[in-house]
Amino acid sequence: MDPVARANGLTDTIDQIGKIHVQKDVWLGSNGTVLAGVTIGEGCVAATASVVTKNIPAGALAGGIPACIIRRLDSRSLTIPGE
């Protein structure tokens, strides 16, 4: 944990580097963290201040530290009335 490297925006270890895959119709709450290599499935919600350390399957509500599946979302609730 080198403070100079952190101040310069450098990562500490190679495992902190990786792509994050956020699929269609995902909502990420504020102040959340998503770790490298994670995929957040279509139609998911990651709750505010969650730390997503593992993949979240499509249509799930996840939250916590670390984030875990709280419940499945009803696909009917994801549509906008009149569409």
User: Which domains, ranges and CATH numbers included, belong to the chain?
Assistant: 14-72 (2.160.10.10)
Q: Which of 70, 72, 68, 42 is nearest to 54 (CA)?
A: 68
Q: Note if the bond before 66 is cis, omega within 30 degrees.
A: yes
Interatomic CA distance for residues 46 and 53, integer angstroms? 11
Mean pLDDT in residue range 64-82: 78
Q: pLDDT tens-digit profile of 16-71?
A: 778 999 999 999 999 999 998 999 999 999 999 999 999 999 999 999 999 999 99
* Contact between 59 and 73 (Cβ < 8 Å): yes
**DSSP assigned state of 13:** S
User: Taking the model in full, what pTM does it have?
Assistant: 0.73
Contact criterion met (CB below 8 Å) for 61 and 45? yes
pLDDT of residue 35: 92
Q: Is the pLDDT of residue 83 over 60?
A: no
